[in-house]
Amino acid sequence: MAYLAHPRRARRRRQTGHNPLAAPLLLLSGAVVIAMLYIGYVLWPRWPGTPVALDAPSLPIVIAGVNFNIEPAAIREAIERHPGTQDRVDLAYLWPSLTPPDPRAKPSVGQPADPNKRLFVTIAAGDGTLPPMDRVKEIYPRYLAPEPSAGPDGLTLRAFRDDTPYKGEELVFEQQNPEHFLARCSLKGAVNSGTCLLERRIGNADVTLRFPREWLGDWKAVAAGIDKLLARLHPAP
């Protein structure tokens, strides 16, 4: 059995020898673990924990796999005011400043916030529905009245027929570039001025923006403001 002792000692010496790559690999592994823990901490849903303060920095929120940066003060529901993955968020911005409402401002008694001075935004999962432009091409035509009419400053109006689910609404779009500005608006009534819904698809998330129909008189500023806001909520990589 003595002839086995020497190879074993040699193997032990080789096993305990210094590996020059061990320290860098250990440091790299530690950095990766720390980064993963931080990302998990930021994105891990913490509902029903304490909502984030209204004056906190923008929150990283993931909806339908899409990353958004959203100011807490803009989030209308306290239960949605936390980072991480969510099904939807409901937002409000002052118009035309596109800033979140001041959390310190108190409405006057009997004088609620003027909805005509706010842009409302909902971000939710698309849930397999057709993108907005595909709906325009494949679904809406069967419900639209045959003749378009001219709208303000280069817009085109196409009313929905009264025998359809969209009765009392019409499509309002930029004639030369409908993908840039296209909204579905309710008609002005005796007790309301009408509301417009403009939708954008980002990845698998649907962004629906709601504003008063009277803003169509300055629709180019509305389109520019929406583009600016969406770029802020979902910055380009």
Structural domain includes residue 193: yes
Strand order in the sheet with 195-202: 88-94, 118-125, 205-212, 195-202, 182-186, 169-174, 155-159, 149-150
Structural domain includes residue 6: no
Q: How far apart are CA 213 and CA 69, in angstroms?
A: 28
Per-residue pLDDT tens digits for 95-153: 999 999 987 776 666 666 676 789 999 999 988 889 989 999 999 999 999 999 999 99
Structural domain includes residue 20: no
Long-range contacts of 136-141 (CB under 8 A, 24+ apart): 136/171, 136/178, 136/182, 140/166, 140/171
- Report the domain count for the chain: 1
Structural domain includes residue 175: yes
What is the residue range of 204's domain? Answer: 59-104+114-233
Structural domain includes residue 7: no
Q: Is the pLDDT of residue 51 over 70?
A: no
Per-residue pLDDT tens digits for 147-200: 999 999 999 999 999 999 999 999 999 988 999 999 999 998 756 789 999 999
Q: 0.85 cut: is pTM over it?
A: no
Structural domain includes residue 137: yes
For residues 75 and 89, the answer to whether their CB atoms sit within 8 Å is yes
Structural domain includes residue 17: no
Structural domain includes residue 126: yes
